[in-house]
Amino acid sequence: MREIVFDTETTGLSPINGDRLVEIGCVELINKVETGNSFHCYFNPERPMDAVAESIHGLSDAFLADKPLFADKAQELLSFIKLSPLVAHNAAFDFGFLNYELDKCGLPTICMTRMVDTLAIARGKHPGAKHTLDALCTRYGIDRSHRVKHGALLDAELLAQLYVELTGGRQIGMALDDNNGPSDGRLSAPNTVSGLPRNKKVKRQPRPHEASPQELLRHGAFIDKISNPVWRRA
């Protein structure tokens, strides 16, 4: 199964109030494994950067001035994500900005049924705990020491690791042998019994269970020593 984990950086909190998308980072997963394929781009928002937003992600007006417009890269982005489910942390925020930009370009927006929200998953698994990306990375032992400021691609890479942990960790399947069963992430039963393939079980020689003449004589002598046994009363 193909999934895209993504993150965005923006000029502020609300596209309705004129805020724009300035960065997007996407990471491809196949059966919960990173493939190494990614999409990353900065955008010129055609408006000044909010000071609070810049303090979070460090993207200044000067840095973004020569970057392409979202419309210039929209088709390339859509070609990368295709029809795959889209995974994000607090996904409604990222979907809101992404769909605003697509609509502004006259392109079809992305159906919300494709949204997978890791924030909702985390709240279900850890009610009452902190659910920021930093806090969850700490909980699951994901190294974020290189995260000085927010960055869309870096955060998407961290989120991809977190998503795998939130949905069952690295042990997705139950197969004991990589050469047995399907390799598409489906559960498969082990094809071995006691370390031997089922079709190659070693047949043991039948054990001798019949008493020998000597054993029968010893048994009779032992029975004769029993006084008034119950089986003779009948």
**231/234 Cα distance (integer angstroms):** 6
Tokens of 179: 């050469």
196 burial class (0-12, 13-18, 19+ CB within 10 angstroms)? exposed
Among 111, 164, 173, CA closest to 3: 164
Q: 40 an active-site residue?
A: no
- DSSP calls for 46-96: SSPPPHHHHHHH---HHHHTTSPPHHHHHHHHHHHHTT--EEETTHHHHHH
According to the annotation, is 155 in a ligand binding site? yes
Query: Has 57 been labeled as part of a binding site?
Result: yes
Instruction: Check the annotation: does 184 bind a ligand.
Output: no
7 is in an annotated binding site: yes
Sign for the pseudo-dihedral over CA of 104, 109, 112, 115? negative
| Among 89, 126, 131, 150, the one annotated catalytic | 150
As a whole number of angstroms, the distance between CA 12 and CA 57 comes to 11
Task: Give the residue ranges of the annotated binding site for substrate.
Answer: 7, 9, 57, 155
Q: Which residues are catalytic?
A: 150
Task: Give the residue ranges of the annotated binding site for a divalent metal cation.
Answer: 7, 9, 155
Task: Give the residue ranges of the annotated binding site.
Answer: 7, 9, 57, 155
